[in-house]
């Protein structure tokens, strides 16, 4: 019952619904891809699951048509990150915000071209939006790795022993933050593998992933994201109680 209540609560928010749609879509692609690869001629269930996955992905694309204002407000509030202590993290975040802000209109144009609303080449706009996503993910990987290493330096002495000078509560908070950065790093790496796959052929491993591998990478990323969201929610509840 508690799990059902938690699920219902998460579905009340846009982000919660998006995480669930994303996870279901990639899970369908994973299972459908495996079934089709094992029995290409007779796996009707596998093909149907791949269709469901494609439709859920299209659903998320349409819902993102309304994400620009929220992204703009976030980018404007962060600005040049003058409140950020680490100047390296500051400029990584600024560049990431710029890439994310440009990603949305490029994807909208690509969607409109596919829907025959605009008479332009959708492939170019999909390629541009995917390239921006790759750039943003690379920045996210560097940011999480940098943050995890900095936290590790604070928690461990130069000799490799765990420092006991930090208060227990602060040490626990730093451990939780480092664990969160590691999970974010893994999630971004999984998304990055798929993002490169969706770039035009000839770029690294672009176009070489079978459907089940795309589904696996996406499922890993989605489950990590859902775990982090649930963990953040339980932490917030504990702090408020």
Highest mean pLDDT: which of 2-6, 35-39, 157-161, 186-190? 186-190
The tokens of 213 are what?
């591998």
For tokens 């690379």, what's the residue?
A: 138
Determine the average pLDDT of the residues in 108-123: 96
Closest residue by Cα to residue 150 from 92, 86, 93? 86
Mean pLDDT of the chain: 89
**What digits encode the pLDDT tens for the residues 85-100?**
899 999 999 999 999 9
What is the structure's pLDDT at 118? 95
What is the structure's pLDDT at 39? 82
Determine the average pLDDT of the residues in 178-194: 96
Determine the average pLDDT of the residues in 197-210: 96
**What digits encode the pLDDT tens for the residues 13-72?**
888 899 999 999 999 999 999 999 988 776 899 999 999 999 999 999 999 999 999 999
* Band (159; pLDDT cuts 50, 70, 90): low
For the cut 80, the answer to whether the pLDDT of residue 78 exceeds it is yes
Percent of the chain with pLDDT over 90: 69
Rounded CA separation 111/124 (Å): 11
Closest residue by Cα to residue 187 from 35, 26, 7? 26
What is the structure's pLDDT at 171? 76
Contact 116, 157 (CB under 8 A): no
Determine the average pLDDT of the residues in 137-152: 94
Predicted TM-score of the model (pTM): 0.90
For the cut 80, the answer to whether the pLDDT of residue 240 exceeds it is no
Quickly count: other Cβ atoms within 10 Å of residue 37's Cβ. Answer: 14
What is the structure's pLDDT at 229? 86
What is the structure's pLDDT at 10? 66
Quickly count: other Cβ atoms within 10 Å of residue 55's Cβ. Answer: 11
What is the structure's pLDDT at 185? 97
Q: Is pLDDT larger for residue 240 or for residue 145?
A: 145
Rounded CA separation 129/107 (Å): 6
- HEC string of the chain equals CHHHHHHHHHCCCHHHHHHHHHHHHHHHHHHHHHHHHHCCCCCHHHHHHHHHHHHHHHHHHHHHHHCHHHHHHHHHHHCCCCCCCCHHHHHHHHHHHHHHHHHHHHHHHHHHHHCCCCCCCHHHHHHHHHHHHHHHHHHHHHHHHHHHHHHHHHHECCCCCECCCCCHHHHHHHHHHHHHHHHHHHHHHHHHHHHHHCCCCCCCCCCCCCHHHHHHHHHHHHHHHHHHHHHHHHHHHHHHC
* Band (161; pLDDT cuts 50, 70, 90): low
Instruction: Give the length of the chain.
Output: 241
Give the domain ranges of the chain: 18-155+168-225
For the cut 90, the answer to whether the pLDDT of residue 140 exceeds it is yes
Rounded CA separation 213/201 (Å): 17
Determine the average pLDDT of the residues in 105-127: 97
Rounded CA separation 207/144 (Å): 27
What is the structure's pLDDT at 157? 57
């Amino acid at each position: 019952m508690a799990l059902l209540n938690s699920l219902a609560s998460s579905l009340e928010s846009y982000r919660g619904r998006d995480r669930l749609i994303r996870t279901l879509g990639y899970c369908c692609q994973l299972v459908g891809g495996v079934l089709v690869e094992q029995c290409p001629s007779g796996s009707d269930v596998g093909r149907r699951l791949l269709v469901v996955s494609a439709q859920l992905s299209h659903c998320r694309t349409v819902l993102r048509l309304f994400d620009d204002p929220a992204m703009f407000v976030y980018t404007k509030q962060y600005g040049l990150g003058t409140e950020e202590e680490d100047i390296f993290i500051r400029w990584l975040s600024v560049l990431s915000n710029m890439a994310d802000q440009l990603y949305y209109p490029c994807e909208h144009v690509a969607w409109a071209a596919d829907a025959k609303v605009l008479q332009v080449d959708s492939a170019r706009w999909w390629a541009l939006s995917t390239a921006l996503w790759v750039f943003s993910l690379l920045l996210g990987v560097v940011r999480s790795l940098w943050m995890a290493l900095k936290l590790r330096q604070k928690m461990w002495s130069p000799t490799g022993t765990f420092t006991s000078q930090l208060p227990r509560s602060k040490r626990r908070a730093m451990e939780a933050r480092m664990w969160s950065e590691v999970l974010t790093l893994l999630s971004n790496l999984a998304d990055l593998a798929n993002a490169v796959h969706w770039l035009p052929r000839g770029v690294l491993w672009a176009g070489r992933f079978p459907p089940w591998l795309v589904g696996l990478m996406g499922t890993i990323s989605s489950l990590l994201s859902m775990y982090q969201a649930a963990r953040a929610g339980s932490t917030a509840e504990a702090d408020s109680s």
